[in-house]
Structure 1
Amino acid sequence: MTQNGFCDSRPLLDLHKKTEERRAPLRAWANTRGPKERRSLAESEESRGAHCKTTPESRWARRMPVSAEDGIIMGYAEQNGSKDGREEEALLQCLHGLPGTYSWDIFSDMLRTQSHYTFPSTELPSPFTDSTRAIMVDWLIQVHVMFNFSEETLYLTVHLLNRAMRQIKVSINNLQLLGIVCLFLAGKKEECLLPEISELCYLMDNNYSKRQLLRMERRVLCELDFELSHCPPLHFLLLTASIAHCSDKMVWMARYLLELSLLENQCVVFQPVQLARAALCLARVVLQEAHSPESETAWCIATSLHICSEPTLQRIMHILAVTASTAHARETRASFVKFSTAKTLHISSHPGLQSAPHLLGPGGAQARPQAREGALKGMRAGETGQYMRTHT
């Protein structure tokens, strides 16, 4: 860390083993509690009266399944008739009962505004390098895991870091402070509970004061014009996986590959929808699951919602494949450790990842089974709606 200009921070992955040295922060502990345990703390106080009936928070009322989690409205509303130029909308109306009134409007806005979240080039201002940035992102992933933040918070953090590194003149000695401030701002936008500023300073070994952190926060907000919105590629990935009827294993594999893209600076020039599709396609190639004609048709429908050129798709898949094949031996391995648990189906240890670059040989990722070719012909002939009505 000293060679990269960072202060000697605490080892985050081992913090849970040092309970005798330091108690877990209250808010960090609360983030790991379930809805009932959170509610039990609030209900321990005296009753506020019969006229004040509290209702459970909608965010904690229930957890959605893996294919539809992270706050995404997955469904599409049925509308009477079809409009010119809205082939995708007519296509989505035939999908299997995914409820939602404004889902198509949200998806259209995601496609329309995603170009705002890319960068024209991968060039970083001096003295930053791709390696320095990767180490910073890897450390932020560890902090993100420790506080049990949502996935949107992580993607927004890295997006803010990418913008701040290009718009704000910061020395390499203050890069860690900049990174923790980006995480703090992302948490303010996405989370219900936040860590104390003193806890963030402690993670940086108290090399920065509270005043320095708050001054950097103000500086970042002013330089970014208080623009903190971001459409993460995770939303496109989960939407596509839901429509394509992907298995849980494939979804976890795609999420792992997508998170690895955060470490690669060369991925900042690609649109979120391109990254999501490349991660899902690579997961499909690595797992080599058996597919029925119905699943092939569903896959074709899902991948037809957005257009990505084949050279761009192959380029992104190659970047992700090389990164995944060496993730276990790299210094930046926080994502590898994160996705090696039973909850994530030990997906980062899948043997197919070691040979992922070789699977993308000439025609390897472009080969299409006959069932998929037949589905594509049906889509060109306008028979997709009839097929979905028959098989759902």
Structure 2
Amino acid sequence: MKLYMNTEQDYTIDIFSRMMKRQSKHVLQAVDIPEAVTPEMRTVLVNWLVQVHEFLDLHEETLYLAVYLMNSYMKVHKIQTLFLQLLAVSCLFIACKMEEKLIPQPADLCFMMEDAFSKKELLKMEKKVLYRLRFELQYIQPLHFLRLLSITGKCPENVEYLAMYFMELTLLEADGAMIEPALLASSALSLAQMVFQESGILSPDPGGHVPLYSYSDADLILPRQLMGRAALRARSDSKSSWKKYSRGQRHRVSTGPAMSSPKHLSRCIGLL
């Protein structure tokens, strides 16, 4: 399989193959989702975490890793709903240490929680997460698959950003944690291309998207529907990700011409 990478092409094939083999171990099952954390709780929590992440100007990988660590902790250890915010911030703190050059200070993170928890409580929760997860803190990022797809398919930057927007919305959904990272990325990019084509911004043949994976169109349907429905709700509810991707540095993809009418997206996921 030729990936057409500009640099380190020999290593890219090995890295890609390893990512594909290891990605399934990072997917949650339905039984792993704690019943005590309702879908509404999860949406509110991750929506707030997106706000904190953007305010601190952190890397995109940091957000995905933080949510993954939070999911993983709830899989292996019960958490009282009272401490969900503390867990989320502790996971973000750990993710920053893995992905960022400049690490937020614990006092700043406590301030983001309106000092509902102290620095001591934050550091104690950090230790609990590290212990329960046995310091297994890395996972296969869907963002990495998306970037590979975008490069090999020579996708326009606005299409890639719309795909990133769709993927980020799945962080708010428990079902999103049960989708393989490569399938998530493939579905997001596929949906972004479809929306741009439906709106008339891209021609029916956008030019050279080469699929990297063996997923069929049938495999992409359910993830695309999950993302599409989440995007329709995000616009009406003014979710943090919707606001984040309405900004100029992200091509305003959540509010731009392709997403200006809900009909475009609804047709792409089969609602019209």
Same fold (TM over 0.5): yes
> What residue is the counterpart of 2:190 in the other structure?
281
> What residue is the counterpart of 2:217 in the other structure?
310
Structure that is richer in helix per residue? 2
CA contact (8 A) 1:122 1:265 kept: no
> What residue is the counterpart of 1:320 in the other structure?
227
The aligned length equals: 264
> What residue is the counterpart of 1:226 in the other structure?
135
Shift of residue 359, structure 1, vs aligned partner: 2.6
Shift of residue 257, structure 1, vs aligned partner: 0.8
Q: Residues of 2 paired with 1:252 and 1:122: CA distance?
A: 32
Give the letter for the 1:229 counterpart: Q
- Asked if residue 99 in structure 1 is aligned to residue 7 in structure 2, the reply is yes
Alignment of 1:141-290 (within 5 A): 141-288=50-197, 289-290=202-203
Shift of residue 279, structure 1, vs aligned partner: 0.4
Give the letter for the 1:143 counterpart: V
Shift of residue 164, structure 1, vs aligned partner: 1.2
- Secondary structure, aligned partner of 1:326: helix
Q: Residues of 2 paired with 1:210 and 1:150: CA distance?
A: 23
Q: Residues of 2 paired with 1:201 and 1:265: CA distance?
A: 26
Alignment of 1:63-102 (within 5 A): 88=1, 91-92=2-3, 95=4, 98-100=6-8, 101-102=10-11
Q: Residues of 2 paired with 1:156 and 1:126: CA distance?
A: 22
Return closer, same or farther for 1:105/1:171 CA change in 2, 3 Å cut-off. same
Among all aligned residue pairs of Structure 1 and Structure 2, give the percentage whose two residues are the same amino acid.
34
- Secondary structure, aligned partner of 1:263: coil
- Bigger mean CA offset, 211-220 vs 347-356: 347-356
Which deviations, in whole Å up to 9, do the C-alpha atoms of 1:263-298 show, x marking residues without a partner? 111111110000000000100110011255xx54x3
Shift of residue 350, structure 1, vs aligned partner: 3.0
- Secondary structure, aligned partner of 1:308: coil
- Asked if residue 124 in structure 1 is aligned to residue 33 in structure 2, the reply is yes
> What residue is the counterpart of 1:113 in the other structure?
22
TM-score by length of 1: 0.64
Which deviations, in whole Å up to 9, do the C-alpha atoms of 1:106-127 show, x marking residues without a partner? 1111111111110121663242
Shift of residue 177, structure 1, vs aligned partner: 0.3
Shift of residue 360, structure 1, vs aligned partner: 3.0
Which residue, 307, 320, 329 being the options, matches 2:236? Answer: 329
Which deviations, in whole Å up to 9, do the C-alpha atoms of 1:1-31 show, x marking residues without a partner? xxxxxxxxxxxxxxxxxxxxxxxxxxxxxxx
Give the letter for the 1:312 counterpart: D
Q: Residues of 1 paired with 2:95 and 2:117: CA distance?
A: 20
- Secondary structure, aligned partner of 2:249: coil
CA contact (8 A) 1:122 1:268 kept: no
Which residue, 324, 340, 349 being the options, matches 2:246? Answer: 340
Shift of residue 310, structure 1, vs aligned partner: 3.1
Q: In terms of Rg, which structure is larger?
A: 1
Structure 1: state its 5+ residue gaps.
1-87, 365-392
CA contact (8 A) 2:158 2:251 kept: yes
Q: Residues of 1 paired with 2:76 and 2:151: CA distance?
A: 37
- Asked if residue 136 in structure 1 is aligned to residue 45 in structure 2, the reply is yes
Return closer, same or farther for 1:178/1:267 CA change in 2, 3 Å cut-off. same
Q: Residues of 2 paired with 1:207 and 1:360: CA distance?
A: 41
Shift of residue 323, structure 1, vs aligned partner: 1.1
Structure 2: state its 5+ residue gaps.
none
Shift of residue 358, structure 1, vs aligned partner: 2.2
- Secondary structure, aligned partner of 1:175: helix
Give the letter for the 1:161 counterpart: M
TM-score by length of 2: 0.91
Q: Residues of 2 paired with 1:335 and 1:242: CA distance?
A: 24
